[in-house]
Amino acid sequence: MFIPHTDADREAMLRTVGVSRLEDLFKDVPAAHRFPNLNLPRGLTEMEVKAEMESLALSNETTKDLVCFLGAGAYAHYIPAAVDAILRRGEFYTAYTPYQPEISQGTLQAIFDYQSLVASLTGMEVSNASHYDGATAVAEAVSMAYANFRGKRNKVVLSPSLHPHYRATVQTYNEGTEINLAGAEISPQAGPEALLPLIDDKTALVIVQYPDFFGRIYDYTALAEATHRAGALLAISANPLSLGLLTPPGEFGADIVTGEGQSLGIPLSFGGPYLGLFATRKEYVRKMAGRLVGETIDNRGQRAYVLTLTAREQHIRREKATSNICTNQGLLALAATVYMSLLGKHGLRQVAELCYHKAHYAASQIASLPGFRLWSDAPFFHEFVVRCPQPVAEINDLLLLEGILGGYDLGQDYPELKNHMLIAVTEMNSRDDINLLVETLAEVSND
C-alpha cells in the first residue's frame, strides 16, 4: 500500500494539532472499545486465500454453466473478445474524469464516439456521456422534465409495463418531492392507449418502455402526439440492442430516450455495474444531466475533444443543477462503444434478428404445450410472457435440475400475473437449448 506520509510528516502534524501520539486522537472513544482484541482467525497465505475464493466462486451458478432464459432487463449476449482486450488497455482502464483535455484526448474521443453511436441508434440529436444504469437514466429523465417546466408541471405518468425496478427507482428519487407519479392502477396487459386519459396540463413527462417490460413492441407515435398536445414530454426507455431491428424511438417523437446499455457488450456480473443511456433533442441539451463531450478544433486547427456545456454541473452551480449526478460510466460506455463499433449497423441488426427469430421459435413451441399459453398477442422482440400451469418458482426448480435458468416470475411484481413467466431468448440460445427448455416444460404440462 502506498502511504505518502513519512514518520517525520506524521510527527509534525501531531505537533501542530497538539497531541504527542496518534492514539491520543482517539481518546474520546471509550477505552474498552478503543483498541479491542479482535478474535480473528490466523492470517492466510496467498495460496490459501486463492483456494478459498475459488471454492466460493465455484458455488455460483452462472450463465457459463447454465442455459439462460432469464432476462427482465439484463440479458445474456455474446461479448466479442476484442471488447475486453480494448477495455483493459491501461490508457483507458486508469482514465478518470477527463477534466484536462490536453491529456485525455483518447478518453474524450471514446465518449464522443459513444454519444454519436447512442444518438444515431436512438434516433435522437444528442446523448450524454451516460448514467449509472437504465433505472437511474429513467429517474434522471423525470428530474429533467420537472426542471424543464420549472416545477409548474408535477405529474409523471409511468406505464405499468415500465420495468418495476425502474419505477421503484423513480419513486425513490422523488420521495419527498412535489412530483406525483401516476399510472400504477392501470392493468399491465393494457397498451399505451390506456395512458392517454392520465395525460393532462399538469403532466411533465410520460414514460414508456420499448420493447416494454413484457417484451411487447408498440408504435408510440399516437402517444407522443397526445403527450405533446398536452404540452408534456415523452420519454422512452429502450433496449438499445433491439434498435438494431426496430424503428428508433426518436422517430415516434420521443423527447427523451433512455436505456439499459448492458445488452451492448457488458457482462451480466450479478446485476452490475451497468450503463445508463440518455439521449434527447437539442433544445433540451442544457437541461440534460451528466457530462457531454464536444468536438472542436485546438489552436493549431487540429480536431480536439473537450467536456462542454458543464456550466450546470453540480460542482459549478450545485443549487441550480438539474441533477446531482454528473459522473458517467466511462469504462462501460467504452465497452458499449467498442461493441457497437465491432458489430456495426449490420452486425447489430443480425444479433437483433437472431434474438427475434429464436424467441419466436421458442414462443410458438411453448404455446403448443398443453397448459401453457402466451399472455399477449402483441408483437414482441426477444422476450414474451407465458401463463404456466404451475407456480413459476416450482417450474424453475425443475428447470434448474436440467441446467436451465428459467424465466422471470412476474408474480413478484404483478400480483395479477401469478403463474406467469417472462422468458428471454438471445442469440446465445441454440435450437437445442430451446428444445431442451420446451421438453422440460412439457413434463410440467403432462402432470
Partner 1 sequence: MNTPTNLKYTKNDEWVKVDGNIGTVGITDHAQEQLSDIVYVEIVLSVGDSAKQSEACATLESVKAAAEVYLPVSGKVIEVNEALPDSPEKVNTDPYGDAWMVKLELTDQSELDGLLDAAAYEAQVQEKE
Q: Which is nearer to partner 1, 58 or 297 (CB)?
A: 297
Which among 215, 222, 219 is positioned nearest to 241, based on CA atoms?
215
CA distance 262 to 244: 15
Which among 197, 241, 242, 198 is positioned nearest to 218, based on CA atoms?
242
Amino acid letter at 120? S
Q: Which is nearer to partner 1, 89 or 317 (CB)?
A: 317
Helices (H), 151-248: 164-173, 221-229
Q: Which is nearer to partner 1, 149 or 361 (CB)?
A: 149
**Cβ atoms within 10 A of the Cβ of 286, count?**
12
Cβ at position 233, least distance to partner 1 in Å? 16
Cβ at position 320, least distance to partner 1 in Å? 7
Q: Which of residues 98-157 bind partner 1 (CB under 8 A)?
A: 150, 152
Helix or strand or coil: residue 357? helix
DSSP state of 14: H
The cell for 286 is: 442544457
DSSP state of 3: -
Cβ at position 297, least distance to partner 1 in Å? 16
Q: Which is nearer to partner 1, 291 or 312 (CB)?
A: 312
Q: Which is nearer to partner 1, 216 or 287 (CB)?
A: 287
Q: Which of residues 362-421 bind partner 1 (CB under 8 A)?
A: none
Binding mask 303-342 for partner 1 (x = CB under 8 A): --------xx---xx--x----------------------
Cβ at position 22, least distance to partner 1 in Å? 44
Q: Which is nearer to partner 1, 34 or 286 (CB)?
A: 286
Instruction: Classify burial at 219, counting beta carbons within 10 Å of its beta carbon; exposed 0-12, middle 13-18, buried 19 or more.
Output: middle
Q: 442 and 369 in contact (C-beta within 8 Å)?
A: yes
**Cβ atoms within 10 A of the Cβ of 447, count?**
7
Cβ at position 199, least distance to partner 1 in Å? 20
CA distance 359 to 381: 7
Place of cell 399505451: 192
Instruction: Please count the residues of this chain forming the interface with partner 1, following the rule CB under 8 A.
Output: 8
Q: Which is nearer to partner 1, 152 or 345 (CB)?
A: 152
Cβ at position 276, least distance to partner 1 in Å? 25
DSSP state of 369: S
Q: 34 and 26 in contact (C-beta within 8 Å)?
A: yes
CA-to-CA separations, 283 to 76, 149, 164, 258, in angstroms, rounded = 36, 13, 30, 17
Q: What's the helix, strand, coil split of the chain in %, to 5?
A: 45, 15, 40
Give the up-direction half-sphere exposure of residue 413: CA atoms within 13 A in the CB hemisphere: 20
Q: Which is nearer to partner 1, 103 or 316 (CB)?
A: 316
Q: Which is nearer to partner 1, 29 or 316 (CB)?
A: 316
Cβ at position 312, least distance to partner 1 in Å? 7
CA distance 354 to 47: 44
Q: Which is nearer to partner 1, 128 or 242 (CB)?
A: 128
Cβ at position 256, least distance to partner 1 in Å? 18
Cis status, amide bond into 370, omega within 30 of 0: no
Q: Which of residues 275-294 bind partner 1 (CB under 8 A)?
A: 286
Cβ at position 308, least distance to partner 1 in Å? 11
Q: 91 — alpha (psi -120 to 50), left (phi > 0) or beta?
A: alpha
Q: Which is nearer to partner 1, 25 or 316 (CB)?
A: 316
Residues contacting residue 32 through CB under 8 Å, at least 6 positions apart = none
The cell for 133 is: 444504469
Cβ at position 229, least distance to partner 1 in Å? 19
Cβ at position 311, least distance to partner 1 in Å? 4
Q: What is the contact surface with partner 1 in residues (CB under 8 A)?
A: 150, 152, 286, 311-312, 316-317, 320
